[in-house]
Amino acid sequence: MKPIIVIGSGLAGYTLIREFRKLNPDTPIILISRDSGDYYSKPMLSNALAQGKDAASLVQTPALIMAQQLNIKVLAHAEVHAIHRFDKKLDTSAGVFEYDKLVLALGADPIRIPLQGNAAGAVLSVNNLADYAGFRDALAGAKSVSIMGGGLIGCEFANDLAAAGFAVTVIDPGPFPLASLMPELAGKQLLKPLAELGVTWRFGTAVQSMDSLTSGYALTLADGTVVQTDIVLSAVGLRPRTQLAGEAGLDVNRGIVVNDRLCSIDKNIFALGDCAEIEGRVLPYVLPIMHGGRALARILNGEETQLVFPAMPVVVKTTAHPIALLPVARDLPGEWLTMASGSGLKMGFFDTQNKIRGFVLTGEYASERNTMTKMLGT
């Protein structure tokens, strides 16, 4: 019997396999990953420093134990180079493998903004355990960190680094933190609490070049100012890994295009997680992966299933000023209205029929996300 092959040992790959095994203990499964295959929680990467955690302590279950628990074969440190979908075969650094069904759980790559200067290559990003280990090494002896990007991941790292005692500068061409996810009034709530922790905000400008100094780097910004820093961390966004799928002739847009059964144009190939574009949406968060993993497990087990996402709020782990939000599509007509304010804000996005379609909860209101999510159902 040919196996199901899953490429990728992140949350998407392992969630799917765990859910599938609940339904089907026997079908052979091979998990191929170019990393260690160890199971860890990626969201921890942006709040582990202040807790003093190193990369090894973030591993929740080593690959070997995952393989035993899930009754699967894990090929770690093996890279898939090509998918020959008409032969249902994969070329990998560990040999050729045949599959019955193939699941692409390939994740996404950090976007790299081209910079000028003799140290442009020294920009770091943290998107997996190995990156985190390298980041911690780089931080040894450093006092200051500049972060490119004031979105969700940039703000979380800013909070974590400042709480760990680093002087942090966040540089973003936008007007305020988390600008792509929430209205100005709510985004600006983050300014003071993080500034009090040691974060300097630089909005409306961007890093143009990075040059080495005797110690650390000089960042020249678009507004002509120079920031001196020991480390530069880029958090400007992620790009779904689509190359393998594209080269195999699958449909690729922003992500690997799949339908509401998570199936590509090839009925034997599926995609899940940060690499996937599901019915036009790329959803690089934990909750969509959990829902998608459960649905795909049923589909691979032969059940007639259609993926329907519920409202899935996102928690921003800025402990100095917690935030929970349910983002709305950019082109949705309507307006943000303040529903309550105190040592935080409760805002709802109301469509033209006055129906609540999204929310932002900050500070004291952040814990109300379940209540707000229920309101969306009414």
Ligand X SMILES: Cc1cc2nc3c(=O)[nH]c(=O)nc-3n(C[C@H](O)[C@H](O)[C@H](O)COP(=O)(O)OP(=O)(O)OC[C@H]3O[C@@H](n4cnc5c(N)ncnc54)[C@H](O)[C@@H]3O)c2cc1C
Question: Looking only at residues 117 through 136 of this chain, which bind ligand X when binding is defined by CB under 6 A?
Answer: 126-127
Single out the residue of 284, 290, 334, 376 in contact with ligand X (rule: CB under 6 A).
284
**Applying CB under 6 A, does 285 fall inside the site for ligand X?**
yes
Q: How far is the CB of 39 from ligand X (least distance, A)?
A: 10
Q: How far is the CB of 315 from ligand X (least distance, A)?
A: 6
- DSSP H/E element including 271: strand 269-271
First to last CA, the chain: 48
Contacts of 237 (CB under 8 A, 6+ apart): 110, 111, 149, 151
Asked if residues 203 and 362 have their Cβ atoms less than 8 Å apart, the reply is no
Q: How far is the CB of 276 from ligand X (least distance, A)?
A: 8
Single out the residue of 5, 9, 166, 189 in contact with ligand X (rule: CB under 6 A).
9
Question: Looking only at residues 251 through 280 of this chain, which bind ligand X when binding is defined by CB under 6 A?
Answer: 273-274
**Applying CB under 6 A, does 18 fall inside the site for ligand X?**
no
Binding region for ligand X (CB under 6 A) out of 9-17, 59-67, 198-206, 324-332: 9-17
CB atoms near residue 132 (< 10 Å): 22
Nearer to ligand X, 12 or 339 (CB): 12
Q: How far is the CB of 235 from ligand X (least distance, A)?
A: 8
Q: Is 232 helix (H, G, I), strand (E, B) or coil?
A: strand
**Applying CB under 6 A, does 34 fall inside the site for ligand X?**
yes
**Applying CB under 6 A, does 27 fall inside the site for ligand X?**
no
Single out the residue of 79, 211, 251, 351 in contact with ligand X (rule: CB under 6 A).
79
The vertex-291 CA angle with 30 and 332, nearest 5°, equals 130
Binding region for ligand X (CB under 6 A) out of 30-38, 60-68, 300-308, 342-350: 30-38
Question: Looking only at residues 125 through 184 of this chain, which bind ligand X when binding is defined by CB under 6 A?
Answer: 126-127, 153
Nearer to ligand X, 211 or 266 (CB): 266
**Applying CB under 6 A, does 244 fall inside the site for ligand X?**
yes
Residue type, 87: D
Q: How far is the CB of 248 from ligand X (least distance, A)?
A: 12
Asked if residues 77 and 34 have their Cβ atoms less than 8 Å apart, the reply is yes
**Applying CB under 6 A, does 234 fall inside the site for ligand X?**
no
Strands 101-104 and 108-110: unpaired
With CA atoms as reference, report the closest residue to 314 among 289, 339, 294: 289
Each residue of 173-192: b (16+ CB within 10 Å) or e?
A: beebbbbebbbeebbbbbee
Q: How far is CA 60 from CA 7, 44, 124, in A?
A: 20, 11, 24
**Applying CB under 6 A, does 230 fall inside the site for ligand X?**
no
Radius of gyration of the chain (CA): 22
- Residue ranges that bind ligand X, judged by CB under 6 A: 7-13, 32-35, 42-43, 45-46, 79-80, 105-107, 126-127, 153, 241, 244, 273-274, 284-287, 289, 314-315, 317
